[in-house]
Structure 1
Amino acid sequence: MPLFDWFLALVTIFAWGINFLASKIALTEAPPLLFGALRFILVAIPAIFFVRFPKAPLKTIIAYSLTINFLQFACMLSAIAFGLASGLTSLLMQWQAFFTVLIAALYFKEKIPIGLLVAFVIALIGMVLIVQGGNMDTALPMSGLFAAIGAAFFWACGNITIKKMPHVDMVSLVIWGGAMSIPAFALASYLIEGPELIQQSLSQMGVKGWGGIAYAAYVSTLIGYVIWCKLLSRRPIALIAPLTLLVPIIGFISGYLAFGEKMTWVQWIGSAIVLLALGINIFWLKIVKFLHLQAFRNK
């Protein structure tokens, strides 16, 4: 792959990893559902006036918007708002890799790969260490934990809707899908967070709030997804996809540098095990091929 494409891929990975930090900063001034509404307002306007509506079934686009935009980000932002460290949130979100394969196997009646089952069991071991290995300073808020896992699940559901639109223009899907999620975020924010908190947040938001929301909208969503989709369209998925394993590493480093987010050594081991499981899930076929080759050579 050309050096410039590697540069673009790393720019995207850094943008996504730092997005969790930017979101945590913005959430100090805006509640999560209002954050989501404002994020996708910035994503959609004024872009929808210059980008055509995606050429795909309306119900599939709505399903994409509700899962990968509304439900995923509502859960992700809530996880951070509930007190889950931004680094751990970025790691737990990677469970979407497991959920995507499981849901695809059930939905499309495909056989579940043995590599996924092995990786899933290993990841569960890592998850137990993360949850049980904390002390009074690093104990996980269970509401945040479940919200992050929920975000990963809805991300996976959104991936399935994308698979049903193989020829859709991703730029138009991101922009119009974002626009269609605004009413859901606005209604949920009004009903759950309340008009008083909304009004208070909008009147008092400063650089932290608007800066974090703008970063999530323009850098993470528009720039990040556009670059990523371009790379996926012209480079092998097997070469590009494993780079997402760097996202939680960037999330951990940025969270530690900005907020001093700490974990016990047991939680670090658990996180490393989860990353190992994600790697096994991605590279399983290559691992099996390598082991078969070694066994053949040793005969």
Structure 2
Amino acid sequence: MNARDLCLAIAVAAIWGVNFSFIKLGVAHIDPFVLAGLRFTLTALPLVFWLPRPAVAWRWLVVYGFAFGVGTWGLVTLAVRAGLSPGLAAWLLQSSAFLTPILGLLWLGEALSRAQKLGSAIALVGFVLVVMATDGATSAMGITLVLAAAVSLSAANLVVKRSGVKPGQILGFVAWSCLFAPLPLFALACASTGEAAFAALPQQFTGIAWASLAFQVYPTTLFGYWVWNSLMARYSAAEVSPVALLVPIFALVFAWLLFGVVATPGQTIGIVFILLGLLTTTFYQRLSLVLTLKGWVR
């Protein structure tokens, strides 16, 4: 990527990293399902009145809206409300990088490369270490919820691929699919807390709550996905995807700056293994090619 586009990609990674802290600020005031429902309501409206519906079947919009809106960010928001730190939530959500190829094998019949197998094995060690390092200061329920969200995010990634949406219609695809996320999220809010989740909204919408919601909708979802998918359309995935490794790093930094949250030693070791797994999956094939060309590996 040229310098301008690389800076844009890094800026998006920083926005996505700090978004986890904004979620934490929001759930301190608003029910997590209501907060997520409002996020996707504002993501879809009024944008769907300006963007044409992408040329894909309705079922893909419905499934993506549920998987991305409810299954991914509804569960992440609930996990942060359950006490999981923003930085750790971001790292655990990265497991979708390994779950996506596995689901692709099961659903689309795509073979796993050696890099994906090795990277997944290394990262799995990291996830086990993170879970084993759970103590009284870390929410076991939060970890479970984020891992479930990672599975849902992997499914959402495959839905985009399976739908056949064109690169120029990605923003419209996100906006139109988000129409199908708010109602299930609001229904979950009613099922969990009843009418109280909505009755208290006028008092709960402080300046911090508004800032949390606005940041999740506009910089994170609309701007972030527009820039990221535009770069994915212009460059190869191998050039753009490694920048996503910065997201959990930014999340850890902002969680420390805003809330003073630091990972435990056991979690830190696990995070290092997850990072090694991500790096292996991303760079293993290119490194092997370079070594082979130089005659160091046969």
TM-score by length of 2: 0.94
8 Å CA contact 1:84, 1:144 repeated in 2:
yes
Instruction: Give the match for residue 23 of structure 1.
Output: 23
8 Å CA contact 2:30, 2:204 repeated in 1:
no
Please state whether the residue corresponding to 2:164 is helix, strand or coil. coil
Runs (5+) with no aligned partner, structure 2: none
22-31 or 164-173: which moved more?
Answer: 164-173
Hey, what's the Cα distance between the residues in 2 that align with 1:69 and 1:134?
27
- The alpha-carbon deviation at position 193 of structure 1 amounts to 2.6
283-292 or 153-162: which moved more?
Answer: 283-292
RMSD: 1.6
Hey, what's the Cα distance between the residues in 1 that align with 2:296 and 2:184?
58
- The alpha-carbon deviation at position 298 of structure 1 amounts to 7.6
Aligned length: 296
Instruction: Give the match for residue 162 of structure 1.
Output: 160
Change (3 A) 1:261 1:166: same
Hey, what's the Cα distance between the residues in 2 that align with 1:109 and 1:60?
19
- The alpha-carbon deviation at position 134 of structure 1 amounts to 5.1
Deviations 1:50-81 (A, max 9, x none): 11112101111111111112211111111111
8 Å CA contact 1:22, 1:215 repeated in 2:
yes
Runs (5+) with no aligned partner, structure 1: none
162-171 or 12-21: which moved more?
Answer: 162-171
Deviations 1:91-111 (A, max 9, x none): 111111111100011111122
Hey, what's the Cα distance between the residues in 2 that align with 1:194 and 1:298?
63
TM-score by length of 1: 0.94
Deviations 1:226-256 (A, max 9, x none): 0111111111211100100000000000001
Instruction: Give the match for residue 150 of structure 1.
Output: 148
Amino acid of the structure 1 residue aligned with 2:213: I
Hey, what's the Cα distance between the residues in 1 that align with 2:120 and 2:150?
14
- The alpha-carbon deviation at position 158 of structure 1 amounts to 0.4
Amino acid of the structure 2 residue aligned with 1:203: Q
Change (3 A) 1:198 1:235: same
Instruction: Give the match for residue 211 of structure 2.
Output: 211
Change (3 A) 1:281 1:224: same
8 Å CA contact 1:85, 1:261 repeated in 2:
yes
Deviations 1:124-146 (A, max 9, x none): 2212322233554x4x2111001
For residues 36-47 of structure 1, the aligned pairs below 5 Å read: 36-47=36-47
8 Å CA contact 2:13, 2:244 repeated in 1:
yes
Please state whether the residue corresponding to 1:243 is helix, strand or coil. helix
8 Å CA contact 2:165, 2:173 repeated in 1:
no
